[in-house]
Amino acid sequence: MNEPKKNTPDRETGSPVTRAIHGIPHPDPHRALNPPLYQTSTYTFPDMETVDRVLSGEEKGYIYSRGGNPTVSRFEEVVSLLEKGEASRAFASGMGAISATILHLSRGNRTVHLPVTLYSGTRAFARKFLEPWGVPVRWFDPRPEGWLEKLDATLQEGDGCVFLESPTNPTMDILDLRELSALCRAKNVPVVVDNTFATPVLQNPLLLGCDLVIHSATKYLGGHGDLLGGVVTGASGTIDVLRGEEGSFLGATLSPFNAWLLLRGIKTLSLRMEKHTANARAVASFLAGHPKVRQVFYPGIPSHPGYSIARRQMSSPGGMLSFELSDARTARNVCDRLSLVGIGVSLGDPESLIEHPWSMSHRWIGEEERRAIGVSPGFLRMSVGLEAWEDLVLDLDRALG
């Protein structure tokens, strides 16, 4: 019999495009090109001896889909390949992955360090759950010069983690992940990066020294706005414990169908990110030259404070940008006048989306705090989609006019 053809790239040398499409080969008796969907909650055993072998860990096998599912496992394997991590654990949403990971790392009331520039959902989790439960939360500002030295002064040996984003949501700040990781490693503090904006195609935090990477798979990994999912990637020892404890008992399990949709979406991730980025460059260039736009926040523009760092740690600046207008009324009117660009809080879809954080994602944050983190009344965040960039520029030009 002929040996099966090896159709998977090497983990270290294969391009993201190829890894996303081929993943790890799983022989199928029917030779199906695409992975099957295992839409089941329970797995049976032929006999009690098999039960003993599986439950003792002597033999690999699935028991109940809250703990593991073949379709979900395949999605986890592909993400591990893309992020160049040892293992991954999937969750029902991005917040499921974030909350489970932070809870795991903060056990024993270990301190969690969070930047003030942070996704509003993660911020709310810290404010509404971690702090009331007595978990020490230290907030730091990653924007002023010397912020790393100030953070270093607050870090204690064995703290729970430093959790951050780069680029940040929605202010598009860029943090030096390599320098931060070196600083935290010296004090045995794990670094967790929400890599949703960049995706594993544009940035690999693990290769920069970070310990865990999180994605809201709802966004670019799925890429079509038709699912919810989250995933965390890192060393197998950490992920195995997370999988068996918070990953199982908190119940935020990714459904097999959504894992199947994610496997489909990831196959075009590299191509989509190329188009998202090209469109965002064109839109950012247009906005930077418009008289009604006060400032554009996009790491692909040389005037961005994090431009040089982004060039070092990202292969390209991505499809997200923000810009500032004079006031809330002007910003809201622009949203209302757009026809191609939809008003919505998500991102990473083929359709371009815009949101007014002052009225939407950051609505329930105090006004003074909103301004302090860089969200002004005239601030808008845009997820640049896959439409023709000329049409997007025309739509924005009409709305601004």
Q: Which residues are catalytic?
A: 66, 119, 194, 219
CA distance 259 to 228: 9
Residues in the chain: 401
What DSSP element (H or E) covers 182?
helix 177-185
Best CA proximity match to 356, nearest among 342, 370, 345: 345
- Count of other CB atoms within 10 angstroms of residue 329: 11
3-class DSSP state of 173: coil
CA distances from 157 to 73, 103, 104, 161, 185 (A): 34, 18, 17, 11, 10
Query: Could you give the strand order of the β-sheet that contains 295-297, starting from the edge strand earlier in sequence?
Result: 295-297, 320-324, 379-383, 353-355, 342-343
Residue whose entry in the numeric block shows the structure tokens 């992955």: 97
The two structure tokens encoding residue 81: 């390949």
Q: Write out the DSSP string of 54-123.
A: HHTTSS----BTTT--HHHHHHHHHHHHHHT-SEEEEESSHHHHHHHHHHHHTTTT--EEEESS--HHHH
